[in-house]
Amino acid sequence: MDLLRSLPLGLYLEQPQTWLHKIDPRVKFAWLMSFLTSYVLANNFWRVLLVVILIVATLIARIPRRVWQQQMGWLLMLSFFVLAIAAISPDGLGVDYQSRLPANEQILTQPANSNNIKEPAAEKKAYSYVLFHKGPVKVTRYSLSLAVRLSTLIFTVIYSTNLYLLTTAPEEITSGIESLMQPLRRFKLPVTEIALTLTLSLRFIPLVLEEVQNLFRSVMTRAINWKKLGLKGAFKVWMTVAERLLENLLLRADQMANAMMVRGFTSPNEHRVQWHDLRLKGRDWLAIATLILFWGIRLAIGTQA
């Protein structure tokens, strides 16, 4: 279960501080939402371009290789397998039908006195719906398009979210979202409570990964003979592990609540902590201008036909 530590899902990289760390969390949140929403009704060229942008941004930010190498590798491998499986899978559109037009389309456009006039035949571009067919392997235009959509969606959603969490501290995320949610106070929504809950949930992610890893290690060190247990016995063991995991997580949550009460936290209005002073700087305005350019390119070349 060392994979949980080698893949820093939802963890914040404190050092080194890259230029992505220094951008305002509200601007980075707008970029994250742009990556997640620009995918809708986009063509495959734009979807592949999003993957390229995420990889290039990671390299330009000079994030340590040990941080992103395995995670990006696993995601690229997963996306490749999804691409390969979906491409060779049946597309569901293999329906044979008879065209309403005659085989020789020149009959419709040929003039009545064409017996004496001979026009050169128009050159037609060869079109094939099936791109590759050898034995049981068959790749069509629709299956390939669907494969590209699925594989790029998996990579974009997972990696863009992780890159945001990797370069933004939980307190910055909380402050940024609370700042963006300020207009909702007019509707008497508990904005501060929602932001506090988000902070605690982000802090809780490493604890969950640690508890899962410890429980799996405890099962592996007992050298259980799974063949003798059978399916029913193995199910009971894993149900016991899941029950223990839930108990440990509830215990951690109770400890966190007690720590807040000891520190005098009664309500968000009476015990407020200003984590960060959110002010847009020069690099933030540059990121906003780049975001506007991003959406301009999306509307120009990325819209699905």
Q: Name which residue leads in pLDDT, 23 or 113.
A: 23
In total, how many domains does the chain have?
Answer: 1
Q: 174-195 pLDDT, tens per residue? A: 888 888 888 888 888 878 777 7
Q: Is residue 243 domain-resident? A: yes
| Residues in the chain, total | 305
Average of per-residue pLDDT across 129-154: 86
Instruction: Look at residue 54 and tell me whether its pLDDT is greater than 90.
Output: yes
Domain membership flag for residue 106: no
The reply to whether 205 falls in a domain is yes
Which tops the pLDDT comparison, 281 or 12?
Answer: 281
**Regarding predicted confidence, which is higher, 96 or 32?**
32
Structural domain boundaries enclosing 156: 3-92+130-301
Q: For 193-240, how does the pLDDT look when each residue is reduced to its tens digit (9 = 90+)?
A: 777 777 777 777 777 878 888 888 888 887 777 777 788 888 888 888
pLDDT classification of 32: cutoffs 50, 70, 90? very high
Instruction: For residue 295, tell me if it sits in a domain.
Output: yes
pLDDT at 293: 95
pLDDT at position 153 is 93
Say if residue 289's pLDDT is above 90: yes
Determine which of 88-97, 102-111, 282-291 has the lowest per-residue pLDDT on average. 102-111
Q: Let me know if residue 254 belongs to a domain.
A: yes
Asked if residue 262 belongs to a domain, the reply is: yes
Examine residue 207 and state whether it is found in any structural domain, yes or no: yes
Token reading at 55: 């990889």
Position 78 in a domain:
yes
| Whole-number average pLDDT of the chain | 79
